[in-house]
């Protein structure tokens, strides 16, 4: 293998985006990471002026900085707006001067730190949820053991009572013990591992859509926005229906309680490329978004909604989202949430093809 090919492979396997600018600040080379950042191939970008790659720079002007005298510099947490991104991105970048053929070139190295921050946040969230699940399981088992004894003692006592009217009291003990046992079982979640088979995410969503449509009648409008190119992937279809149904029902109940008269839920699917979930990078990820126009989740509650027994409704158990997160985690995915008044988004991320 020639040295040029080796260098090309090294650059293409870098996570940092690398862009080479000629003396006129036109792009002469970019690696694979830079192609992903700008969402364009190298052949299409080569020869473009750097300014052509941006819609806007919201906080600093990289073009003025690059024209500075021949000295390297680094800019932290710059805000860039790219043509294909609706929101600005945050990057760290470094510009290094290079002299080639007696002319001043520039080497631009870019790190998309929004992604790094997200990976760090996801790892922290998944670790916290795993710790919480272990804690809940331990407490639940400690509750179930004496609960069985209480129920058994109440049954024995009912047989010994001379007056049948007194059995009403033992019946209350047995019924409440059963209710508490059912609650504990829900906290523990399913112990069954997912039964994976080829699953189409849109078949899952259609099932959820039909169930919720019956429950809401015409009070909530449901909009379907599907990407038909998403392939089937190995998953437990019934478990995914349960997870998505829990999220959609939460959105439906929030809209019905708000009584704004124009409640809407959007079920949206898209493919995300080259995405890291937890500790692993995946080539393709299915992203299912449940978007509602309700009152939103209070900021002080937003970071805790996936923990058991956390609910914003007086009659809620706080288990629906916890169970949904557990199911999606079993498929090597995770659920994200962002919320503000008028728009709450739940994003269900599941790897395609490599989640066995």
Could you please report the per-residue DSSP string of 108-172? EEEEEHHHHHHHHHHHHHHHHHHHHHHHHHHHHHHHHHHHHHHHHHHHHHHHH-S-GGGHHHHHH
Least confident of 21-30, 84-93, 196-205, 220-229: 84-93
Beta carbons of 322 and 242 less than 8 angstroms apart = no
- pLDDT at position 116 is 73
Instruction: List all residues 6 or more positions away from 334 whose beta carbon is below 8 Å from its beta carbon.
Output: 122, 125, 126, 277, 278, 325, 328, 349
Distance CA 18, CA 32 (A): 8
Distance CA 21, CA 4 (A): 19
Neighbours of 293 (CB within 10 A): 21
The predicted-structure confidence for 207-238, as pLDDT tens digits, reads as follows 999 988 888 877 889 999 999 999 999 999 99
| C-alpha Rg value of the chain to the nearest Å | 27
- pLDDT at position 58 is 46
Q: Which long-range contacts (CB under 8 A, 24 or more apart) does 174-178 make?
A: 177/147, 177/150, 177/151, 178/151
Beta carbons of 305 and 337 less than 8 angstroms apart = yes
- pLDDT at position 267 is 96
pLDDT at 114 over 80: no
Distance CA 200, CA 126 (A): 26
User: Among candidates 348, 209, 324, 350, which has minimal Cα distance to 266?
Assistant: 209
Report residue 7's pLDDT band, with 50, 70 and 90 as the boundaries. confident
The predicted-structure confidence for 279-307, as pLDDT tens digits, reads as follows 778 889 999 999 999 888 888 888 788 87
Q: Choose between 334 and 217: higher pLDDT.
A: 334
Distance CA 273, CA 284 (A): 5
Distance CA 56, CA 59 (A): 9
- The whole-model pTM stands at 0.64
pLDDT at 311 over 70: no
- pLDDT at position 313 is 59
Taking CA atoms, 149 is separated from 66, 183, 186, in Å, by 75, 17, 20
Residue 276, beta-bridge partner list: 281
Taking CA atoms, 239 is separated from 89, 300, 348, in Å, by 35, 29, 13
Residue whose token pair is 């978007």: 291
- pLDDT at position 356 is 43
Cα–Cα–Cα angle for 95, 98, 99, rounded to 5 degrees: 155
Report residue 171's pLDDT band, with 50, 70 and 90 as the boundaries. confident
User: Among candidates 124, 187, 128, 132, which has minimal Cα distance to 320?
Assistant: 187
Report residue 59's pLDDT band, with 50, 70 and 90 as the boundaries. very low
């Amino acid at each position: 293998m020639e040295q040029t090919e080796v260098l090309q492979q090294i650059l293409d396997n870098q996570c940092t985006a690398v862009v080479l600018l000629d003396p006129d600040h036109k792009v002469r080379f970019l690696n694979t990471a830079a192609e992903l950042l700008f969402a364009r191939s190298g052949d299409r970008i080569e020869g473009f002026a750097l300014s052509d790659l941006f819609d806007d720079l919201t906080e600093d002007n990289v073009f003025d900085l690059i024209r500075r005298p021949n000295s390297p510099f680094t800019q932290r947490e710059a805000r860039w707006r790219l043509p294909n991104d609706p929101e600005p991105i945050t990057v760290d970048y470094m510009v290094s001067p290079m002299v080639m053929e007696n002319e001043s070139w520039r080497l631009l190295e870019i790190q998309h730190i929004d992604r790094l921050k997200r990976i760090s946040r996801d790892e922290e969230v998944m670790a916290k949820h795993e710790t919480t699940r272990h804690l809940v399981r331990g407490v639940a088992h400690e509750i179930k053991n004496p609960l069985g004894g209480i129920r058994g003692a109440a049954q024995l006592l009912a047989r010994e009572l001379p007056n049948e009217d007194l059995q009403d009291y033992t019946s209350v003990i047995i019924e409440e013990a059963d209710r508490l046992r059912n609650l504990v079982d829900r906290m523990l979640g399913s112990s069954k591992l997912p039964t994976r088979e080829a699953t189409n995410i849109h078949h899952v969503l259609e099932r959820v859509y039909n169930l919720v449509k019956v429950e809401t009648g015409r009070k909530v409008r449901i909009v379907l926005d599907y990407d038909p190119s998403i392939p089937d992937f190995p998953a437990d279809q019934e478990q995914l229906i349960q997870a998505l149904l829990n999220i959609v029902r939460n959105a439906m109940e929030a809209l019905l309680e708000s009584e704004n008269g124009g409640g809407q839920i959007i079920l949206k699917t898209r493919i995300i490329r080259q995405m890291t979930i937890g500790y692993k990078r995946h080539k393709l990820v299915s992203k299912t978004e449940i978007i509602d126009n309700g009152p939103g989740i209070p900021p002080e509650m937003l970071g805790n909604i996936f923990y058991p027994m956390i609910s914003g409704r007086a009659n809620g158990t706080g288990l629906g989202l916890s169970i949904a997160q557990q199911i999606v985690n079993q498929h090597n995915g995770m659920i994200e949430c962002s919320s503000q008044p008028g728009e709450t988004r739940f994003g269900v991320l599941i790897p395609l093809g490599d989640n066995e």
